[in-house]
Amino acid sequence: MKTEASSKTTTIDQQNAVPTPEARGKKSGRGISRYMTVPGLLVSLFVLVIPLLVALYMSFTNWTPTRGTLLEANLIGFENYSELLFWDNRFVHAVVRTLLISGICLVLEFSLGLGLAVLFLREFRGKSLLFSAFLTPMMVLPVVVGYIFWMLFQSNGPINQILEIIFGAEAAVQWFRSPNHAVAAVIITEVWHWTPLFFLILLSGLKSIPENPVRAAIILGASPGQVFWRVVMPMLKPVIIVAFIIRAMEVIKLFDEVFMLTRGGPGSSTETISLYIYKLAFNDFQLAYAAAAAFLVLIGSLTLIHLMLLPVRDRLLEGNR
Amino acid sequence: MRQQNQEKVHTTLRHYDEGKLSRRKFLRNMSILGVSAFVANAVSLSPLGATKAFAAIHAAEERAWELAKAAAAKAEKKTLTLLIPTGSIGNMTPYVDKWRDELGITLQFIEEPDEVVHTKGMQEAVARTGTYDVMMPTAMSYPDWIDAGVIYDLTEWTEQYDPELFHPEWGVVFPASHHAQLYNGRVAGLLNDGDQITLLCRSDHLDDPNKAKAFEDAHGYKLDVPHTWKEYYNLAKFMHNPSEGFYGSLEYRSPYYVKWMFMQRLISKGRLYFDNELNPTFNSDEGVAALEDMLAMNEFLHPDAFSFTWSSNYNAFGRGEGFMNIVWPSGYKYSKAPSTGPATTGNIRATVMPADTLADGTLLYAGLFCWGYGYAVSRYSANPELAYAYAQWMTSPTISADAIPYLGGYSDPYRRNHMLAPTQRLIDTYSLEYLQILYDNMVNTVPDFCLPGGFEYQDALDREVNACMTGSKSPKQALDDAARAFERITRRTGREKVLKSWLALAKNLAEPIRKASGADKW
Amino acid sequence: MTEPKKLTRLQAIILLVALILTLFPIFWIVMTAIKPPTDWNASPAIWIPSEPTLINFKTLFDPDAIRAYGVGGVSQAATSAVIGSIIASVTATLLSVSIGLFSAIGISRYAKNSKWTPLVILSGRMFIPAAIAVPFVIIFSNIGLTDTYTGLIAIYVAITLPFSTWMLKSFVDDLPREIEEAAMIDGKSRLAAHLTVTIPLIKGGLFATTMFIFILNWSEFLFALVLSYSNINTIPVQLAKYVTATAGTLYGVQAALAVLAMLPLIVVGYFIQSHLARGMTFGAIKQ
């Protein structure tokens, strides 16, 4: 897979990179330009390598601020890691919970976004206005989204009022009181916030599907359902994959909304991995321990995302040429 | 204005000492000048002469002021920055002008939400920005902050400038004087907020003759404020009338607060949090019984109990939505004031926290000292002496009595003179009866987890109690899980360190509680 | 696809319901922002205040204003947060876009063979902020960058750089190289060709990218939360200060700040909506 991918890029590059003789001659000019990526790389290394190294070193110590400075702390080998993986239910649960919430959110956002995008292929009045309206949630700050839904989900809030009107007085729910409802609240919030992104990406994908295969299928007597699932969806696949990866990258970071909605409660039933690390580090100040958790998560997420990127990496790198 | 007042006080004192005033007239004049009856009475009888005796109770304030003047004159940075919890500023703003005008020191307040204050302090231990001079954490922060080297050990200053923390007449009430200010026997901070929980009842319902009769018929004893947890339950059940939006009680079931409801019941049953070897003791029959009591009460609680914060709780009670409430002293203030307690003003009867019956049949009255802000001095302050002077000045017997009644803050009485010899303003804000109740309750208080890693312990407990209250864990399972979490925290924090601090804490508690828990034999 | 069809009645209803669901939360925050304190948390909730007021907005900048309603608890003005947000977001956006622009041209034009440069830059986005916040707090403490805008801006640049680089790269990719080469034939150096030819040609994309990065910076919460003491403050941090686990909530005041915070983003977002898909997908999808 990997070799295949790289060889493909090379061929493309060879085609593209046939420079005019004049350009090839300007070696001196190229010298400066070659370093154009250096500032960007330096900044990226600053966020990647240095924190990783610091986190790695910290994770092998028993440091907390109550034990003096980092350099004075004792090295304790893999104790933090074994504790995290074999003792700390909260950590394992937070990881599983984050993946679960992410999965549910992605599926819901995808389905709703796709449904909406398909409706937008039809013609109706005020379409462009509606298009803007549907994108609005994406523009709202995550903290604000969390706060809005925190208000909406209050026991005397409008969501319960509506539930009571439709399903009777018994239907009101204490959203932040039971673990399941609290998780549901988090998911609903996240789905409201990011369905528009799926809608946007899928709509632009749908619009760029060539008409000929679709026409041909219709002429051959395919039903609209068949056309959609057999012809349109396969052509949409790369776009869907991109959408999933982009969202997956963000949703596993889930923090702001949960911080405002539940702070991880009740108990630790909505604690995402971000929230758990935040609490370890900035409530309990178990900095070394938090660093171990952070390091595991960083490595895990980097691997996961790079794996997910594999199928579309070249598409991203080539910039669709 | 204040200056003028002080001059008048001194003239009155001099006239009395010179025999120009009768004792009665003297007391009246002093009272007009805002001096508490207690102070006036004490100085009028003093063999030293009134002027000298009056100086004695002011001494802590004056020593602090002298130090402040000296430190302010030396200071290069003319600003004193205070890290304080949101909502507490009202007790400090009245003195901003005095510090600016007389010392040339600008007081700058940085407010953070209560639960963030500890975080910011610990971050300062790492970042050492020197941003803060004075920091105002709860007593639970002291152990970690001292160990992290972010605040000074104040002991030497207190020996030199004597803030009169343990004075028999105007010292901080024992045992709060110890558990809310000391870490391993050394002074870590000066208490400025006597946070304890007490019980409020609606007197209009207690005094209703129909209800009194019905209650007595049903239970065989007189309708009154509850004296035991059993009576508390009976009352809540009896008064609970959800169809009219009137609920038995408003105690907390919300995250962050719910642990206190459990801790209070646990200590009422004569159990502390650990034994003398730091094994958790709450996953015991008493702990399970405490949680079961709470589960049984859930039926008679306000529907918002699971999301109450102190202010929404005070407001709901003030609107008349319940018969009883478990509140900090500021809750009494809220319920008493017509603006915040339209339904409760004039209709409140308070009591110390209910007792529980021990195995030997005796009643144990125990209180919970929870939260409890105090002033600490940052190690990275540019003017630590000035910061200390501020702390001592603000918490001195005289200034604190003046500061507490201000609205817009939530500082509550903590010195003996606040409760037993209150100024008129304190009486107006609370009431003589309630101040006495605060004293009676405070002498029996057990503190929060004022230990290294205290926040971790308390958070772990809170999570599990919360899980039990929301029905996802049985009482026994929740407490066993909490105990397991405690073991991990102890191991990580260092058993020796926590144990030492726990034994120091348990040494200074009320005698009945030490006896019931067995701590007297440790 | 085939010629567009009209909506059926059912589809129209679905669309309408979706529209209501999308806009209701925004309606709610706006309504809360103009509620007087008595309506903030009324039971049952009040949808449209009978006496709309601007007191909440006023309180943001004059904390004592709300005292007239018998509400305490606000003593810090949001002014510093608004100023702080502007300083941090604007500076960080300009820096991120400038660095990103060079990286984008560099990658698009000269680094075609090297796959790792763009991926290294992209990896910055894969880091979970809560996880890198821990080492950052330590590093910043040791070099005195805690509680400074410099520190906050440095982080903002770093975490938005993947977006600015990749989004701009996709615009540069769209541009045929021959245009620059023509300029080079005219005797311009490569750098000059980029400055005078490439950049003006992607003006629209540059603007969209700048706005997009601004949205990201303006929304950032976690780093601002852990790095701010007293010198720096941003709107999201201030917003979280109004709701605490322990004290009460100043619903209306908080909602007013929330409205102020999201208003510029909605406007900006509207202007660049045709580029949003490209930005969000690192240029993988173009409209």
Are B304 and A66 inside 8 Å of each other by CB? no
Q: Does A170 touch chain C (CB under 8 A)?
A: no
- pLDDT, tens only, A95-131: 999 999 999 999 999 999 999 999 998 888 889 999 9
CB B68 within 8 A of CB B54: no
Output the average pLDDT for chain A.
84
Query: What is the spatial distance between Cα B436 and Cα C142, in angstroms, rounded to a whole number?
Result: 51
Are B86 and C146 inside 8 Å of each other by CB? no
Residues A290-316: what's their mean pLDDT? 83
**Could you tell me how many CB contacts below 8 A there are between chain A and chain C?**
356
CA distances from B308 to B123, B252, B314, C247, C261 (A): 29, 6, 9, 9, 28
Q: Does B487 touch chain A (CB under 8 A)?
A: no
pLDDT score, position A20: 42
CB C183 within 8 A of CB C197: yes
**CATH code for A44-318?**
1.10.3720.10
Query: What is the spatial distance between Cα C180 and Cα C196, in angstroms, rounded to a whole number?
Result: 9
- pLDDT, tens only, B219-270: 999 999 999 999 999 999 999 999 999 999 999 998 889 999 999 999 999 9
Which distant-in-sequence residues (6+ apart) come within 8 Å of A195 by Cβ? A108, A109, A112, A113, A116, A137
Are A285 and B303 inside 8 Å of each other by CB? no
Query: What is the spatial distance between Cα C162 and Cα C119, in angstroms, rounded to a whole number?
Result: 9
- pLDDT, tens only, A25-56: 444 445 666 788 888 888 888 777 888 899 99
Query: What is the spatial distance between Cα B472 and Cα B379, in angstroms, rounded to a whole number?
Result: 44
User: What pairs with residue B144 in β-bridges?
Assistant: none
CB A122 within 8 A of CB A111: no
Query: What is the spatial distance between Cα B154 and Cα B352, in angstroms, rounded to a whole number?
Result: 32
Query: What is the spatial distance between Cα B479 and Cα B340, in angstroms, rounded to a whole number?
Result: 37
pLDDT score, position B7: 80
Closest approach of chain A CAs to the CA of B40, in angstroms?
47
- B122, B304, B459 member nearest A65 (Cβ): B122
Q: Does B256 touch chain C (CB under 8 A)?
A: yes
Query: What is the spatial distance between Cα A192 and Cα A198, in angstroms, rounded to a whole number?
Result: 11
Of B64, B85, B109, nearest to B397 by C-alpha is: B64
Q: Does B111 touch chain C (CB under 8 A)?
A: yes
Closest residue on chain A to C246 (Cα):
A263
Q: Does A162 touch chain C (CB under 8 A)?
A: no
Of C202, C218, C140, nearest to C170 by C-alpha is: C202
CA distances from A155 to A173, A176, A249, B305 (A): 7, 9, 33, 11
Would you report the helix, strand and coil content of chain C in percent, each value rounded to 5?
A: 70, 0, 30
Are B463 and A65 inside 8 Å of each other by CB? no
Q: Does B242 touch chain C (CB under 8 A)?
A: no
Q: Does C190 touch chain A (CB under 8 A)?
A: yes
CB C174 within 8 A of CB C136: no
Q: Which residue has the tokens 């686990």?
A: C245
Top-tier CATH class for C79-280: mainly alpha
CB A289 within 8 A of CB A80: yes
DSSP helix/strand/coil, C282 = coil
Angle, alpha carbons C53-C55-C59 (nearest 5°): 160
- A64, A266, A289 member nearest B255 (Cβ): A266
Whether this model's pTM surpasses 0.90: no
pLDDT score, position C73: 57
Residue-range domains of chain B with CATH: 63-193+371-443 (3.40.190.10), 198-365 (3.40.190.10)
What does the block give as tokens for A224?
């609209």
Mutate to test the interface with C, among A36, A209, A250 (most CBs of C within 10 A): A36
Angle, alpha carbons B419-B424-B425 (nearest 5°): 90
Return the number of other C-beta atoms located less than 10 Å from residue B462's C-beta.
Answer: 22
Question: pLDDT category, C244, cuts 50, 70, 90?
Answer: low
Question: pLDDT category, C184, cuts 50, 70, 90?
Answer: confident
CA distances from A136 to A240, B19, C57 (A): 21, 81, 22
Q: Residue type at A19? A: P
Interface residues on A facing B, Cβ-Cβ cutoff 8 A: 62, 64-68, 83, 87-88, 154-156, 174, 176-179, 263, 265-269, 279, 282-287, 289
DSSP for A141-193 reads -HHHHHHHHHHHTSTTSHHHHHHHHHH-GGG---TTTSHHHHHHHHHHHHHHH
CB B130 within 8 A of CB B381: yes
DSSP for B455-504 reads HHHHHHHHHHHHHHHTTSS-HHHHHHHHHHHHHHHHHHH-HHHHHHHHHH
Output the average pLDDT for chain C.
86
**Helices marked H in A18-126 — which ranges?**
21-25, 27-34, 38-59, 79-82, 89-119
Q: Dmax over Cα atoms in chain C, in whole Å?
A: 75
What does the block give as tokens for B41?
């009475």
pLDDT score, position C111: 64
Please provide residue A249's backbone torsions phi and psi, each rounded to the nearest 5 degrees.
-60, -35
CB C218 within 8 A of CB A141: yes
Closest approach of chain B CAs to the CA of A286, in angstroms?
9
Least confident of A219-233, B79-93, B278-292, C221-235: A219-233
| Residue A93: alpha-carbon gap to chain centroid | 19
C contact chains, 3+ CB pairs < 8 A = A, B
Residues A151-178: what's their mean pLDDT? 88
ipTM of the complex: 0.91
Query: What is the spatial distance between Cα A282 and Cα A56, in angstroms, rounded to a whole number?
Result: 18
Query: What is the spatial distance between Cα B30 and Cα B12, in angstroms, rounded to a whole number?
Result: 7
More confident site: A85 or C124: A85
Residues with pLDDT less than 70, chain B: 1-4, 36-38, 42, 46, 48
Which distant-in-sequence residues (6+ apart) come within 8 Å of B315 by Cβ? B334, B340, C248
Q: Looking at residue C110, what DSSP letter applies?
A: I
In chain B, positions 420-459, which contact chain A (CB-CB < 8 Å)?
452-453, 455-456, 459
Mutate to test the interface with B, among A58, A178, A181, A284 (most CBs of B within 10 A): A284
CB C14 within 8 A of CB C33: no
Q: Residue type at A102? A: S
Q: Count Cβ atoms within 10 A of the Cβ of residue B246 and give its class: 0-12 exposed, 13-18 middle, 19 or more buried.
A: middle
Query: What is the spatial distance between Cα B416 and Cα B403, in angstroms, rounded to a whole number?
Result: 15
pLDDT score, position A320: 41
Least confident of A2-11, A41-50, A252-261, B500-509: A2-11
Residues A216-240: what's their mean pLDDT? 87
Mutate to test the interface with B, among A79, A82, A177 (most CBs of B within 10 A): A177
Is the pLDDT reported for residue A2 higher than 60?
no
DSSP for C174-243 reads HS-HHHHHHHHHTT--HHHHIIIIIHHHTHHHHHHHHHHHHHHHHH--HHHHHH-SSS---HHHHHHHHS
Is the pLDDT reported for residue A77 higher than 60?
yes
Is it true that the peptide bond before B175 is cis, omega within 30 degrees of 0? yes
B contact chains, 3+ CB pairs < 8 A = A, C
- pLDDT, tens only, C106-160: 888 876 656 777 777 777 788 888 988 988 988 998 888 888 999 999 999 989 9
CB B63 within 8 A of CB B71: no
Is the pLDDT reported for residue C95 higher than 70?
yes
Closest approach of chain C CAs to the CA of A39, in angstroms?
6
Q: Residue type at B280? A: P
Return the number of other C-beta atoms located less than 10 Å from residue B253's C-beta.
Answer: 23
Mutate to test the interface with A, among B129, B470, B477, B484 (most CBs of A within 10 A): B470
Closest residue on chain C to A41 (Cα):
C121
Are C147 and B129 inside 8 Å of each other by CB? yes
Please provide residue B415's backbone torsions phi and psi, each rounded to the nearest 5 degrees.
-95, 155
A285-311 b/e with 16+ CB inside 10 Å = b?
bbbbbbbbbbbbbbeebbeebeebbee
Domain boundaries, chain A: 44-318
Q: Looking at residue B137, what DSSP letter applies?
A: -
What does the block give as tokens for B117?
């204050």
Are A23 and C15 inside 8 Å of each other by CB? no
Closest residue on chain C to A164 (Cα):
C44
Are B127 and C147 inside 8 Å of each other by CB? yes
Query: What is the spatial distance between Cα A130 and Cα A113, in angstroms, rounded to a whole number?
Result: 14
Return the number of other C-beta atoms located less than 10 Å from residue C257's C-beta.
Answer: 27
Sign of the CA dihedral with B394 first, then B400, B406, and B407 last: positive
* Distance, first Cα to last Cα, chain A: 21
Q: Count Cβ atoms within 10 A of the Cβ of residue A240 and give its class: 0-12 exposed, 13-18 middle, 19 or more buried.
A: middle
What does the block give as tokens for B331?
């809750």
Using an 8 Å CB-CB cutoff, list chain B residues near C230: 81, 108, 110, 131-132
- pLDDT, tens only, B307-366: 888 888 998 999 999 999 999 999 999 899 888 889 999 999 999 999 999 988 999 999
